[in-house]
Amino acid sequence: MTVMNDKNSGKRAARARLAEQRAKEAAKAKRKRGLIIGGAVIAVLAVAAVIGVVVQNDRAGSGAYASPRGTVGAGGLMVPVGSPAAKAVLMVYEDPRCPACGGFEKGFHTTLNQLEKAGKVRIEYHVVSFIDRHDNGSGSKHAAAALGCAQNAGKFHDYHDVLYANQPLETTDPWADRAALITLAKKVPGLDTPAFESCVNNGTYAGWVSAVEQDFDKSGYNSTPTVLLNGTSAYPTYNGQSITPASLTAAIDKIDS
């Protein structure tokens, strides 16, 4: 009886040892599998990141683009209006779809046009297009590119004023349809030519528009209109005073004299 018991317990102990060893091996295999899977996951993520950077860099393009005739500044990003000799320079960042820009234009474009015709001020326009990102759509980009086409035809300022006079609500995006921009071009005598239409429809200045926008992105200014009079912010306040057509005229006259 005792012998039998010893024999049984010996067998049991051997079985237990075997089971223990198997469990150890299984645990080891599981750890190994976990390490392999973990490494593979990290590798997949790293490859995805590299692919993303390479593909997107390629898609973002080399940065080569055509600027409209007569643009100035580094990269031809600014559209100048008025006498190059004017001592007062108003730098304006405007988005065609931005309602606050519409407000600025409504309040000041008559005054500015008079000052510009009198040779007292030169305006340098940066036509930016970030509203498309905020509110979705493509109206800002299309309008900015059409403004480039108008600049190329020598009729930027008239077309600019027509667009702001007919600005749609920010929440709607009728200028996503380029035909609407061509229809508005008919209000500017001599602008609506076959060359202008194909320039608008082909997005000839789309690359220029995104270069202007990227320059704005990096400028640190983050809203439109941003208006600088000889480098000093001039809208909605200038030197701490709320700006009006009269005070803007006085400030420009002071610089001019």
Least distance to another protein, CB of residue 211, Å? 10
The phi and psi torsions of 99 (rounded to 5 degrees) equal -65, -35
Of 52, 70, 154, 236, the residue at the interface with another protein (CB under 8 A) is 52
Q: Interface with another protein by CB under 8 A: which range of 160-168, 174-182, 214-222, 230-238?
A: 214-222
**Count of residues making up the chain:** 257
Of 114, 223, 232, 244, the residue at the interface with another protein (CB under 8 A) is 223
Least distance to another protein, CB of residue 88, Å? 28
Q: Which of 79, 82, 80 is nearest to 67 (CA)?
A: 79
Chain positions 17 to 46 lying near another protein, rule: CB under 8 A, are 30, 33-34, 37-38, 40-42, 44-45
Decide whether 63 or 70 has the Cβ nearer to another protein.
63
Q: Cα 238 vs. chain centroid, distance in angstroms? A: 27
Count interface residues toward another protein (CB under 8 A): 31
Decide whether 56 or 241 has the Cβ nearer to another protein.
56
Does residue 62 bind another protein (CB under 8 A)? no
Chain positions 162 to 181 lying near another protein, rule: CB under 8 A, are none
Chain positions 64 to 123 lying near another protein, rule: CB under 8 A, are none
Does residue 237 bind another protein (CB under 8 A)? no
Structure tokens at 24: 């150890």
Q: How many CB atoms lie within 10 A of CB 165?
A: 13
- Is-contact 173 180, C-beta < 8 A? no
Decide whether 116 or 132 has the Cβ nearer to another protein.
132
92 beta partners:
125, 227
Report the DSSP pairing between strands 232-233 and 121-127: unpaired
Decide whether 228 or 255 has the Cβ nearer to another protein.
228
DSSP one-letter string for 29-46: HHHHHHHHHHHHHHHHHH
Of 49, 165, 169, 250, the residue at the interface with another protein (CB under 8 A) is 49
Structure tokens at 226: 């941003």
Of 48, 169, 179, 250, the residue at the interface with another protein (CB under 8 A) is 48
- Is-contact 91 175, C-beta < 8 A? no
Decide whether 49 or 66 has the Cβ nearer to another protein.
49
Which stretches of the chain are assigned E, i.e. beta strand?
79-81, 88-94, 121-127, 226-229, 232-233, 237-238, 241-242
The phi and psi torsions of 41 (rounded to 5 degrees) equal -60, -45
Does residue 5 bind another protein (CB under 8 A)? no
Interface residues toward another protein, by CB under 8 A? 30, 33-34, 37-38, 40-42, 44-45, 48-53, 55-57, 59-60, 130, 133-134, 210, 213-214, 217-218, 222-223
